[in-house]
Amino acid sequence: MPITGIYGPDDFADRPQGQTPASHRAAPARPGAALPMPSLEWTPEVERATAPLYERVKHVIPSIEWPLLAPTIKAINELKQARGAVILAHNYQAPEIFHCVADIGGDSLQLAVEATKVKANIIVQCGVHFMAETSKLLNPDKTVLIPDSRAGCSLAASITGADVRLLREKFPGVPVVAYVNTSAEVKAEVDICCTSSNAVQVVESLNAPTVIFLPDRYLATYVASKTDVKIIAWKGACEVHERFKGEELRAFREADPTVQIIAHPECPPDVLAEADFTGSTAHMINWVREKRPRRLVMITECSMADNVRAELPDVEMLRPCNLCPHMKRITLANILESLLTLGEEVTIDPALAERARRSVERMINLKN
């Protein structure tokens, strides 16, 4: 059914002005923690040491570019060992990060959950700020670093904890579900979190006739189309996925009727209507591994298509892809800097973290 109502900052006359979400909070590097910069020269030894890594990305990184990347990749991998650190990389990170320096790759929740299983005391999060916060929530005793704390997200920035309190006042007793793409401050105000993989399951688990689902209006619309629960949405959107258009997908289909199209549920409904499959990043990757389509249009962030193609070079990717400028703030250079200086450390107020952790853990426990 269509969503029951949709609200945003302009719908609350008494909303405090000038609010910004409590994201992008990170402590600077610890004094005295810095290690000296290693050599970043392209040498025969670097070429030898990184040859197995180049094999993984040779279909998506031209050989002429490798000498520019390999010295930093080698330095990061050595420093990671020396620091006892683990690197988590989201599916939207560039192939030289995802395939060459990351220990664990996946969607935001997979990363945070996997991080709870590793022995390393330092986590370097190659993704955006809310992901680093989620890792910190689930790993409170570990040091979580983000190479650039300005790596935000249009969804996380669309809503604050105060907005959730205003929604609760307007709809007393209606449970609130937050997509994991929200700040810790928002997670602390809601009943449970969800991902794009489990959103319908989470909504239905509440056994309520109506649920407030935030902040992504398109994911809310998708969930509403899959359940009888009435959905009240928020006017947030992912700036990457909302730019896709159904007509561009129809053009691909007209040019080659055999092409397969898969899309992320953060896309608008006219885009999802053209897709052969709709799913989260993890579900999309599994779908490609299983189906091995000859030609594929993957409607999500560009780097994910590169990362899948590095693994499955026989799948031809047609690409109306959009880059996420926030994800692209993370580079090999600032990952190296982060390991050298142990900056920037993600911190969350312990009382707020306690409440936010409950929402995330409630979802994880539901899954099991």
Note whether 224 and 203 are within 8 A (CB). Answer: no
Note whether 156 and 238 are within 8 A (CB). Answer: no
Provide the minimum distance between the beta carbon of 181 and ligand SF4 in the complex, in angstroms, as a whole number: 5
47-86: which residues touch ligand SF4 (CB under 6 A)? none
String marking each residue 178-217 x if it binds ligand SF4 according to CB under 6 A: ---x------------------------------------
Q: Report if residue 154 touches ligand SF4, rule: CB under 6 A.
A: yes
CB within 8 A of 236, min separation 6: which ones? 8, 154, 155, 158, 159, 214, 215, 216, 217
Q: Which is nearer to ligand SF4, 131 or 192 (by Cβ)? A: 131
Provide the minimum distance between the beta carbon of 90 and ligand SF4 in the complex, in angstroms, as a whole number: 8
Stretch that binds ligand SF4, among 68-76, 149-157, 185-193, 355-363 (CB under 6 A): 149-157
Q: Which is nearer to ligand SF4, 239 or 349 (by Cβ)? A: 239
281-310: which residues touch ligand SF4 (CB under 6 A)? 301
Q: Report if residue 321 touches ligand SF4, rule: CB under 6 A.
A: no
Q: Which is nearer to ligand SF4, 96 or 301 (by Cβ)? A: 301
CB within 8 A of 147, min separation 6: which ones? 124, 126, 329, 330, 331, 334, 335, 337, 338, 344
Q: Which is nearer to ligand SF4, 50 or 93 (by Cβ)? A: 93
Q: What is the rounded radius of gyration, in angstroms, for the C-alpha atoms of the chain?
A: 21
Which one among 122, 153, 199, 223 touches ligand SF4, defined by CB under 6 A? Answer: 153
Going by C-alpha positions, the residue among 282, 242, 304, 267 that lies closest to residue 92 is 304
The pair of structure tokens assigned to 316 is 């031809």
3-state DSSP of 195-239: CCCCHHHHHHHCCCCEEEEECEHHHHHHHHHHCCCEEEEECECCC
CA distance 232 to 80: 45
Q: Report if residue 238 touches ligand SF4, rule: CB under 6 A.
A: yes
Q: Report if residue 239 touches ligand SF4, rule: CB under 6 A.
A: yes
Binding interface with ligand SF4 (CB under 6 A): 128, 153-155, 181, 238-240, 301, 324, 326-327
